[in-house]
Homo-oligomer: A and B are copies of this chain.
Amino acid sequence: MITVPKLTIEDARIIMDAAVRKSREIAVPMDIAIVDEGGHLLLFQRLDGAKITSIQISIDKAFTAAGTRRPTHEYSKTAGPGGPAFGLHTSHQGRFSIVGGGVPIVVNGAVVGAVGCSSGTAEQDREVAETAIQVFTNQLPKNL
């Protein structure tokens, strides 16, 4: 047995609030999903004007980032057409996302969950997810 860090719902709320603020700042209403280290949904929010089809996409991006422990945009090339891992995107019944916007939440080197955003461009989605995670990790005590 080992012990590992785990996100609480309070942690997830801090991340979600930061994601909502960033989404509004860039004026792109988004679907925002936060999952735990097992890829299971912790918190979700669809802002007014965000896309209905992006509900599942944001959840899938977070699922993929938590499960692979890598941001989904890193798979855009390696698992895109011509890449050595092309084909991965149909696994997990098509839930394996290779579109930017899924970002793992890393605390002291351990992946404790992930954020997935969708409705904007892949770059905008990624920006919102990264900013939200940055806000969260910045406010953690140094000696965690």
A4: which B residues are within 8 A, CB to CB? 3-4, 6
CB <8 Å contact, A86 and B94: no
Residues on B with beta carbons closer than 8 Å to the beta carbon of A28? none
Contact check: which of B43, B68, B80 meets A46 at CB < 8 Å? B43
Q: A89–B88 Cα gap in the complex (Å)?
A: 9
Complex interface: chain B residues within 8 A of A3 (CB): 3-6
Q: From B41, B91, B98, give the contact of A86 (CB < 8 A).
A: B98
A26 contacts the other chain (Cβ, under 8 Å)? Answer: no
Q: Give chain B nearest CB distance to A94 CB in angstroms.
A: 3
Whether A67 contacts B86 by the Cβ 8 Å rule is: no
- Cβ–Cβ contact A86 & B82, under 8 A: no
Binding site for B on A (CB under 8 A): 1-9, 11, 36-48, 51-57, 60, 63-64, 66-69, 75-76, 79-82, 84-100, 107, 112, 121-123, 140, 144
